[in-house]
Amino acid sequence: MIFISELIMPLAFVGIILYGYSKDVDIYETFIDGAKNGVKIVFQIFPTLIGLMVAIGILRESGALDFFCKLIMPITKMLGFPNEAVPLTFMRLISSSASTGLLLDIFKKYGPDSFIGRLVSVMMCCTETVFYTISIYFMSVKIKKIRYTLKGALLANLCGIIASLYITKIIFGGA
């Protein structure tokens, strides 16, 4: 699998360049034009990213997030969801880098082959940073009312989390 991921980039380059030649495209000029566009996009995201990361950084450092997770732990216990995975589950919706940090912390503490280690591995595969993605995408086109987007995305992620819990239990057993 690591072999496949190593192959993707070289294949993309070779495939795109050869296809470009076959269709007689000025590939270098097209590349430069496209790259300019990329620079523009980053400058568009830049202010949003600063605003968002500051807010998340403050929320994380204050301990409010951990406190919130502890509050809802009785509920997760009832559902058979491991307590230790709760902070990660919520952080996953907010910040990709912070959730990666929490994931590695769980691997360190319990091992990747423990029940919780496997559960969080599967969970990271099927969930997304909902709040971050919504901010970036909707702010870039100045949309203020996002209607049912947040509800829908959270529900879909919840379905993924529930599926992770059951598939992990069924395939690997335990807990």
Partner 1 sequence: MLNYLWGSMILIGILFSTFSGNLSNITNAAINSSREAVNICLTMLGILAMWTGLISIAEKSGLINSLSKKMMPLLKFLFPQLSEKSKAMQYICTNIIANMLGLSWAATPAGLKAMEELQKINPQKDIASREMCMFMIINMSSLQIVSINIIAYRAQYNSMNPSEIIGPGLFATLVSTISAIIITKIFEKCDRA
By CB under 8 A, the residues from 112 to 171 that bind partner 1 are 112-113, 117-118, 121-128, 130-131, 133-153, 155-157, 159-160, 163-164, 167-168, 171
**Which residue number, 87 or 117, has a Cβ lying nearer to partner 1?**
117
Contact call for residue 78 and partner 1 (CB under 8 A): no
Tell me the two tokens of residue 122. 């599967």
Contact call for residue 71 and partner 1 (CB under 8 A): no
Residues 6+ apart with CB under 8 A from 52: 132, 135, 136
Query: What is the C-alpha separation between 161 and 81, in angstroms, rounded?
Result: 10
Tell me the two tokens of residue 12. 């993309």
Minimum gap (Å) between residue 169 Cβ and partner 1: 10
Amino acid letter, residue 107: F
Contact call for residue 100 and partner 1 (CB under 8 A): yes
Query: What is the C-alpha separation between 165 and 168, in angstroms, rounded?
Result: 5
Minimum gap (Å) between residue 18 Cβ and partner 1: 10
